[in-house]
Amino acid sequence: MRRRIVVVNWRRSDLTLRALRSVLPQMGDGDRLVVVDNGSGDDSTACLRSPKWDLVETGRNLGFGGGVNAGARGMDEDALVLLNNDAVAQDGFLDAITSPLGGRVGATTGKILLSGTWVQAPPGCADALVAGDGSRWTRTEGGTVLVNSTGNVLDSSGNGSDRDWLEPEGVGDAPAEVFGFCGGACAILREAWDQVGPFREDFFMYYEDTELSWRLREAGWDIVHVPGARTVHDHAASSGTNSPMFLRVNARNRILVAILHGPVSMVVQALARTVGRTLQGPDRGPVLQGLGEAVARMPRTLVDRVGRARGISVGDR
């Protein structure tokens, strides 16, 4: 199987070089490594030029989905492999992430571990990560290795999250069956990509992997988790999860994905959840802005949903 590996860079050429060098020794004949500079506007392109991989320059920041689409353009390889630029592929990652592809398996998602080790955070720790059960974790020496993701899952309000987020590593392998892939470490069969792809570029970033996962499932493709395809990830090294941009885009895209694919009950709950967040807490400003953007896009998004149901592509519309 020939593979195209795409890594998207934006102003962190140091991290991107580390990611590229981690996957380069795993490549075989016919594989192609592509790094996309997403309009960094700094010295990234100079730092990333190398005969060992292809450099694509977008000229402007297209977001994660747009960057991947640029790197995948004209793909004639059998599979597309994505690796976050702030992640490191462990030995055997490339073969493991692509080996299940074929038949009805259209995409795979790897096991992403958080870099460093972690302990439960003391009260008042401002930079702690919060688990689904409310426990808070902070990075320190001599702690526990934690899981970042074993794929993407959805709740009834359309909220997407990383499965096994902040679970201790080594407890046991997660089930192969999972709703969606995590774009930070995944592979997509070219046949499936050609049928339902590419990523929606109007999302810019966040939820584009969830939305494409939904399209794959609607087309009858399976998505499986591969525990042996391991990466280590510096969580949100490129854009913090508490930044106003993250909060705004995350709220907007969660609602848009629900409108595109979910039942009416999911759309209602997604809107209610977002309205609730605008009424309390320090995040209400960016979340309110995201809600407003989602409402403004709602008519066009409904047209997209109806058109897709009738087999009409976005380009045709």
pLDDT of residue 276: 85
pLDDT of residue 281: 67
Average pLDDT of 38-64? Answer: 96
pTM over 0.75: yes
Is the predicted pLDDT of residue 313 greater than 80, yes or no?
A: no
Is 162 within a domain? yes
Domain containing 188 — which CATH number?
3.90.550.60
* Residue 250 and residue 229 share a domain: no
Is the predicted pLDDT of residue 19 greater than 90, yes or no?
A: yes
pLDDT of residue 284: 82
Which of 233, 267, 297 terminates a domain? The answer is 233
Mean per-residue pLDDT over the chain, rounded: 92
The widest CA-to-CA distance across the chain, in whole angstroms, is 56
| Residues 77-126: tens digit of each pLDDT | 999 999 999 999 999 999 999 999 999 999 999 999 999 999 999 988 88
* Residue 151 and residue 298 share a domain: no
Average pLDDT of 16-24? Answer: 98
* Phi, psi (rounded to 5 degrees) for 230: -105, 140
Distance CA 136, CA 201 (A): 34
3-state per-residue secondary structure call for 93-108: HHHHHHCCCECCEEEE
Number of domains in the chain: 2
Q: Give the domain extent around 192.
A: 3-115+144-233
Average pLDDT of 53-74? Answer: 97
| Residues 207-218: tens digit of each pLDDT | 999 999 999 999
pLDDT of residue 200: 95
pLDDT of residue 317: 31
Lowest mean pLDDT among 59-68, 113-122, 123-132: 123-132
The identity of residue 41, as a single letter, is G
Distance CA 96, CA 225 (A): 10
CB 314 within 8 A of CB 304: yes
CB 304 within 8 A of CB 259: no
Is 134 within a domain? no
Is 317 within a domain? no
| HSE-up of residue 133 (Cα within 13 Å, Cβ side) | 6
pLDDT of residue 68: 98
Measured in whole angstroms, the distance separating CA 77 from the mean position of its chain's CA atoms is 21
Distance CA 18, CA 82 (A): 15
Over the Cα atoms of the chain, what is R_g?
19
Is the predicted pLDDT of residue 315 greater than 70, yes or no?
A: no
* Residue 12 and residue 102 share a domain: yes
